[in-house]
Amino acid sequence: MRKNIDIDEAILTKLKILSVFENNSVKGLMEEAVRWFVAQKEKQRLDKLTSEEKEDLGLLLLMQQADRTDLANRDDIMEILNKK
């Protein structure tokens, strides 16, 4: 996806200098910076969750991975529940 953004001239100059040292394009540096920023914000958000919220999130992720077409009959479920 292509998006145009306004960048301060001083920042753009610094990005150009960094791109030379990092052997990367300005676009590449900006993409890397955005990826890092998003990852850090996700990590901060996960760190703030309580253990119960983390369990709920884990269950939600597992439920999203489940095959919705795979069905079990009632007898199988009751048998599993009775084992515990």
pLDDT tens for each residue of 17-26 = 999 999 999 9
Asked if residues 25 and 19 have their Cβ atoms less than 8 Å apart, the reply is: yes
Picking from 20, 1, 33, 17, the residue whose alpha carbon sits closest to that of residue 9 is 17
pTM given for the model = 0.60
Using DSSP's 3-state secondary structure scheme, residue 5 falls into coil
Q: For 19-54, write each residue's pLDDT tens digit.
A: 999 999 999 999 999 999 999 999 999 999 999 999
Confidence of residue 68 (pLDDT cuts 50, 70, 90): confident
Asked if residues 15 and 30 have their Cβ atoms less than 8 Å apart, the reply is: yes
Phi-psi region of 31 (alpha: psi -120 to 50; beta: other; left: phi over 0): alpha
